[in-house]
């Protein structure tokens, strides 16, 4: 295919979610090695230097993202769709992200409060997903984070989450800061 580069660029640009290498290979009907080489070339070409966006590898795929510092400008565009996460939602997400699969009872034990409403909201926002039922009496549902969670926080996979050691190195003032909006989270990437 003579225009493979343009086709891959167009697929990534038009997609609402990150496209995996396997998905791009299927869409282009080209050999995986050739698609991978083209994507690597695009990653190199779309480095953020001098541009308002770049190509990023997130959530197991590839997606165009805005560079740091564009948040205030993009806020004007995204005023209608801004999603705020409460402290309770962020706590619940963090517990599930680090301990998944986790049951509602495990989350509530760690938080010390009822978390049913928060977990329902996170499910509605597609940040959590149901992984199945735990093989214990009562067969409670087990929860895990979704691909949308990875996208929102700019993570390739769960291994990109900060470690406990990285948390202890954080500035105490930063830990007490107000919850961030997704546009602010993207600025941190």
Q: How confident is the model over 47-81, as pLDDT tens digits?
A: 877 888 999 999 899 999 988 888 888 877 766 55
Compute φ and ψ for 92, nearest 5 degrees: -65, -45
- For residue 36, the SS3 value is helix
Burial track 150-175 (b if 16+ CB lie within 10 A, e otherwise):
bbbbbbeeeeeeeeeeeeeeeeeeee
Domains identified in the chain and CATH numbers: 4-75 (1.10.10.10), 83-180 (1.10.10.10)
- pTM score > 0.85 for this model? no
pLDDT confidence bin for 40, thresholds 50/70/90: very high
pLDDT at 22 over 90: yes
What percent of the chain shows pLDDT beyond 70?
Answer: 85
Q: What is the pLDDT of residues 112-137, one digit of tens each?
A: 999 888 999 999 988 999 999 999 89
């Amino acid at each position: 295919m003579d225009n493979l580069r343009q086709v891959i660029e167009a697929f990534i640009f038009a997609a609402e979610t990150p496209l995996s290498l396997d998905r791009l290979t299927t869409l282009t009907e080209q050999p995986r090695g050739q698609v991978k080489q083209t994507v690597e070339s695009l990653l190199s070409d779309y480095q953020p230097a001098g541009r308002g966006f770049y190509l990023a590898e997130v959530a197991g795929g590839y997606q165009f993202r805005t560079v740091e510092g564009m948040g205030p400008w993009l806020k004007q565009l995204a005023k209608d769709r801004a999603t705020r996460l409460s402290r309770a939602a962020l706590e619940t997400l963090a517990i599930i992200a680090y301990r998944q699969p986790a049951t509602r009872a495990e989350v509530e034990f760690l938080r010390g409060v009822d978390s049913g409403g928060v977990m329902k909201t996170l499910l509605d926002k597609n940040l959590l997903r149901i992984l199945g039922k735990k093989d214990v009496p009562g067969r409670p549902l087990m929860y895990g984070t979704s691909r949308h969670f990875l996208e929102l926080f700019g993570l390739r996979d769960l291994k990109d989450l900060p470690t406990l050691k990285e948390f202890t190195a954080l500035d105490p003032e930063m830990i007490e800061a107000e919850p961030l909006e997704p546009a602010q989270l993207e600025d941190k990437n």
